[in-house]
Amino acid sequence: GCEGAESSKTRFKLCLDLWNKIKTETEDLQDELNRNILDSLLEFTRKCSSTRRHGDWASQMRASEIPTAALVLGVNVPDHDMTFQSLSELLRCSVTPHVASLQAKECGALKHLMKRVLERLMDAVVDDEEEEEEEEEIQHSGALLHKSVHCSLRALCDWYCSKTKKSSCSSSGKKRSSSAVDEQQQLPVVIIFKDLEAFNPKVLQDFILICSRYLDRLPLMFIFGIATSPSIVQRMLPHSVSSLLCLELFQSLSCTQHLTTVIDKLILTHSFPFKLNGKVMQVLVSIFLYHDFSVRNFIKGLQLALLEHFHSQPLSSLCCRKKEAQIQLQQLGAADLERIRQLPSFNRCKNAQQQEQDNLRTDDAYLKEVCQKLLKALHKYHKNYYPILRCLHTLTSSLPRYPLGKQVRELHLICLEKNVWESEDYQTAMKLLKMLAKDELISLLQKCAEVLQPVKSKKMKNALVQLEELLDKLKQLNGKLVEENLTSPVKNLQKKTDLFQLQKTLLEMNESRRSKRMSPFEVLRNEVVEFVDGLVKNHLLPPESKPLYEVCYYSSSATVRRHLNATPRTSIQAALSSPYCYIQNDILKSEDGSVSNAAPDICIAHKLHLECGRLINLFDWLEAYSTVVSAAEGNGPDSDGFGKVDEVKHARFIRAVSEMEFLGFIKATKKKTDHVARLTWGGC
């Protein structure tokens, strides 16, 4: 027990470390991916705030338009939060402190929208100026009181004026670095509408109308977060309103590309010791592609798998970097060593020799030694697996009809499942590779060399050397090819010949073509393909074939599926028809799908209602229920009270019925008195 606690502590620590690493990696990744779009957005806001007041003729004549950035983010709404968060942080740091972001669900009416805007903008000030004098605090609390009285843009405008005046005073007083130019150029007030589609169009229109009235005093600007397509702006706003906006479009990276980079960084790398097996990976990817397109949820899924792995697998304490793993191995207790002996992958690889088997079974030190070797091998396997996977992908991803998939993750899934070289798709891919033209082949091989370049493993270095040799040979072929073309047998025909001679030469030519020796390029090409094939067969073995793979690989896809892709209907159905699976009480056990009469009331009511048609007579239902319950109470059919409805039974029945109504199985109907309507099919 104590030992287990010890290992669970280290496991927890490992898990936490890994998760923190994943988190920071993904955040960095997100920032990097958003950088482009955010930079252009920031540029836009700066441009807007600087060009606002030129005072020249054109800007006087032009209708004052509110600069608006339409940010098209895609339908993966859960991911947008992070984007908006980093966006508003960036804006706060580098453009303006006045940023308010709004969500549709908190802005049902114009009043609420206004209130939120004022709150966000003015509260931000409170946070910013905490270290300033008390006077302001008092002033501010006065403003807060005032605000509750009237929540209008006029108040915001006054606030903004006092704010800019104050800041210009203080900056000149304290002689900050801000120059006179800065003071003239007003800081814009940015309002972010996170989910434009969900806003009430009327509210939005009114708000824009109001804002446009204050534009000369309040340098407003909007950012619309759009999930579908930019034409939604025109659908939501009439021309009279949309003409008040100066709309510019910003398109973000598509979520599938985002996922690809995330998988690249977190999964297709040997630097994370924690791995997913094929099925779990499949579940996570299919949730992403089929259901939500949300990268955040994908990472959540990864986190779940991580937690589950370290929680449920005692040997997961070995799931860390190579050196730490060696140390952990030395500290393993007897129970854990026994677990290693039980591992199926370990048993599979054991040598047949009796002596050694005995040693392994009895000698802990020997076992540790063997395990150390095996762990090393596993790490090596990972180190070689990913570069080769990428090489194979670069070679096959541009083949017609994509026999091995367009994305690396598809190829990875295939490789996780089985020996990839045994699959038919792989054979066709190799055949197609054998038909590549020279320049294509060279460019692909160069890309492969680039992939292999940074890898430090010995085998990969060897592979790189061989690859470069092949490349050199291919490049040198140029001259030879021309020669080859010149020495064609056609020149035999140049002399004038008779018919017989001609026939003979033609036959010869035919013969020679059939058994023609391959050109040096073809030979070389075959060599290349052989070489690639060799690499694949050596390094792209499925992880299941490796001993001790259970340490690193999480394989319970059912758990992940159950947690991430819940099926409430099925669970309710299961709970009602076989309560034993939730209430583990032996009385409730039943064999043939029938419900025991001792089951909870709602189960009995549910079972009985399955026997009815579209409309259910409540009284009949009650009668049936009372009969079943009487039987459960142990009253024989002959006794007096059998099937009688007493008050308690009546109340229990009513409760069961209303619970079923709440779960959506039945509803009240006006078609017939004393009846309820069924909302489900089946049964009978």
287 contributes a contact to another protein by CB under 8 A? yes
Using CB under 8 A as the binding rule, whether residue 387 contacts another protein is answered as: no
* Contact window for another protein (CB under 8 A) among 159-167, 231-239, 363-371, 402-410: 231-239
Q: Which residues, numbered 89-108, are part of the site for another protein (CB under 8 A)?
A: 104
Minimum gap (Å) between residue 235 Cβ and another protein: 8
Instruction: Note the helical H segments in 313-363.
Output: 322-330, 334-342, 344-349, 354-362
Angle between helices 364-396 and 520-539 (to 10 degrees): 140
Interface with another protein (CB under 8 A), residue from 5, 61, 181, 648: 61
User: How many CB atoms are located within 10 Å of the residue 503 CB?
Assistant: 11
Q: Site for another protein (CB under 8 A): how many residues? A: 71
Cβ closest to another protein, residue 384 vs residue 557: 557
Instruction: Measure Cα distances from 403 to 196, 525, 532, 536, 601 in Å.
Output: 41, 20, 16, 16, 56
Distances (CA, A) of 631 to 149, 585, 611, 642: 67, 19, 19, 8
Q: Binding to another protein (CB under 8 A): which residues in 232-271?
A: 232-235, 239-240, 242-243, 245-249, 251, 254-256
CB of 264 to another protein, least distance (A): 20
State both tokens at 677: 């309507």
CA distance 579 to 596: 9
Region binding another protein by CB under 8 A among candidate stretches 63-71, 313-321, 439-447, 543-551: 63-71
170: tokens are 């203080």
Comparing CB distances to another protein, the nearer of 645 and 663 is: 663
Three-state DSSP class for 245? strand
Q: Convert residues 121-160 into a mask of x (bound to another protein by CB under 8 A) and - (unbound).
A: ----------------------------xxxxxx------
> Site for another protein (CB under 8 A): which residue of 519, 556, 565, 627?
565
| Shortest distance, position 620 Cβ to another protein, whole Å | 24
From the list 64-72, 366-374, 481-489, 495-503, the region that binds another protein by CB under 8 A is: 64-72
E-assigned strands of 264-328? 275-276
Helix-strand-coil split of the chain, %, nearest 5? 65, 5, 25
Give me the torsion for CA of 18, 24, 28, 29, rounded to 10°. Answer: 40
The closest alpha carbon to 288, from 30, 543, 280, 253, belongs to 280
C-beta of 122 vs 375, nearer to another protein: 122
Q: Which of 37, 38, 77, 416 binds another protein (CB under 8 A)?
A: 77
Residues 108-127 that bind another protein (CB under 8 A): 109-111, 114
Which residue number, 114 or 429, has a Cβ lying nearer to another protein?
114
CB of 244 to another protein, least distance (A): 9
Q: Pairing relation of β-strands 615-617 and 675-678? A: antiparallel
DSSP 404-434: T-SSHHHHHHHHHHS-GGGSHHHHHHHHHHT
Residues 568 to 597 in contact with another protein, rule: CB under 8 A: 568-570
Name which position in 55, 173, 290, 648 contacts another protein (CB under 8 A).
290
Phi, psi of 633 (to 5 degrees): -75, -5
Q: DSSP label at 339?
A: H
Beta-strand relationship, 675-678 and 666-668: antiparallel
Alpha carbon distance 493, 475 (integer Å)? 33
649 CB-near residues (< 8 Å, 6+ apart): 625, 626, 629
Length of the chain: 684
Residue 172, interface with another protein (CB under 8 A)? Answer: no
Q: Which amino acid is at 616?
A: I
**How far apart are the C-alpha atoms of 578 and 594, rounded to whole Å?**
8
Considering beta carbons, is residue 507 or 566 the nearer one to another protein? 566
Question: Least distance (Å) from another protein to the CB of residue 679?
Answer: 7
**Minimal distance in Å, beta carbon 201 to another protein?**
10
For residue 378 the two structure tokens come to 């596993």
Establish if 197 lies at the interface with another protein (CB under 8 A).
yes
User: Candidates 162-170, 176-184, 506-514, 566-574 — which segment interacts with another protein by CB under 8 A?
Assistant: 566-574
Least separation in angstroms between CB 292 and another protein: 6
Under rule CB under 8 A, residue 550 binds another protein:
no
In the list 144, 289, 481, 587, the residue contacting another protein (rule: CB under 8 A) is: 289
Among 57, 401, 485, 591, binds another protein (CB under 8 A): 57
Q: Which of 139, 229, 427, 476 binds another protein (CB under 8 A)?
A: 229
Tell me the window of 167-175, 209-217, 335-343, 546-554 that interacts with another protein (CB under 8 A).
209-217
Smallest gap, in angstroms, from Cβ of residue 622 to another protein? 23
